[in-house]
């Protein structure tokens, strides 16, 4: 069975049928928002029910929006607390779905909404693996970049946790080392903010610079201090 089923035409039909309202056209975010916000709207409860209704393998309205590349629909529903990391019976997430269908802008929306980019399906595939399997080259490249961004952010977060929570450190940190790491983390965060358009290589270089700075400090912290002899 092809994992991208139903086909594109069926996906669009399912999307339109989900709300069972003739006025809804694919991508009519304004009308969808009205249905969600206005609890007095006669179709509100039916809309909510159908949005969360799943097919036999666990796909709901959100999956159809991903197949159709409706990023704004995803962003809208996220505001209403919809779980964007929920999996189908075979472990596919919305990110897997968007990757399989080649929806780069939808991938970007999901990553912006901080979905789990490392989630695995029943084949132990990430979304990037799925994109590669379906030869969605642009999606593969974007997800590789997203993974590099995440790796740098995780390195920064790990160091910050070590600074603020002594229990996560291997030993006592010298004040000058602590200040050095604080400034290094701040510099990397600023670099990310100033370089929204970057490359995988640049991101890994920034991560390596951070690791080269912290590793000697970790070694120093793990080394027992000499015991002063009694006079």
Q: Which helix (H) or strand (E) element contains residue 133?
A: helix 127-133
Reply yes or no on domain 140-222 having CATH 1.10.357.10: no
- Contact of 119 with 85, CB cutoff 8 Å: yes
Per-residue pLDDT of 90-128, as tens digits, reads 999 999 999 999 999 999 999 999 999 999 999 999 999
The structure tokens listed for 176 are 């000058």
pTM score: 0.75
Per-residue pLDDT of 149-178, as tens digits, reads 999 999 999 999 888 876 655 567 788 888
Determine how many CB atoms are found less than 10 A away from the CB of residue 69.
19
| Stretch(es) of the chain classified as CATH 1.20.1270.10 | 140-222
Pick the CATH number of 8-135 from 3.40.50.300, 1.25.40.20, 3.30.565.10, 1.10.510.10: 1.25.40.20
- The position carrying tokens 């200040």 is 179
Q: So what's the pLDDT on residue 43?
A: 66
């Amino acid at each position: 069975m092809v994992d991208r089923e139903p086909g594109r035409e069926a996906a669009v039909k399912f999307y339109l049928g989900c709300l069972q309202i003739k006025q809804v056209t694919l991508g009519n975010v304004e009308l969808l928002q009205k249905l969600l916000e206005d609890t007095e709207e006669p179709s509100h409860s039916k809309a909510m029910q159908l949005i969360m209704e799943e097919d036999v393998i666990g796909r709901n309205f959100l999956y159809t929006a991903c197949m159709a590349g409706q990023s704004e629909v995803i962003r809208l529903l996220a505001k209403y607390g919809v779980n964007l990391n929920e999996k189908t019976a075979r472990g596919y997430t919305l990110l897997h779905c968007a990757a399989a269908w080649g929806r780069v802008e939808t991938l970007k929306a999901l990553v912006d909404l901080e979905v789990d980019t490392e989630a695995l399906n029943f084949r132990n595939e990430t979304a990037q693996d799925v994109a590669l399997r379906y030869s969605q080259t642009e999606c593969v490249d974007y997800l590789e970049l997203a993974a590099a961004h995440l790796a740098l952010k995780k390195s920064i977060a790990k160091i910050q946790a070590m600074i603020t929570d002594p229990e996560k450190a291997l030993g006592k940190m010298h004040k000058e080392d602590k200040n050095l790491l604080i400034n290094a983390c701040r510099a990397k965060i600023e670099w990310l903010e100033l370089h929204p358009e970057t490359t995988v290589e640049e991101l890994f270089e920034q991560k390596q610079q951070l690791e080269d700075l912290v590793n000697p400090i970790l070694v120093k912290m793990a080394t027992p201090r000499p015991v002063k002899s009694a006079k």
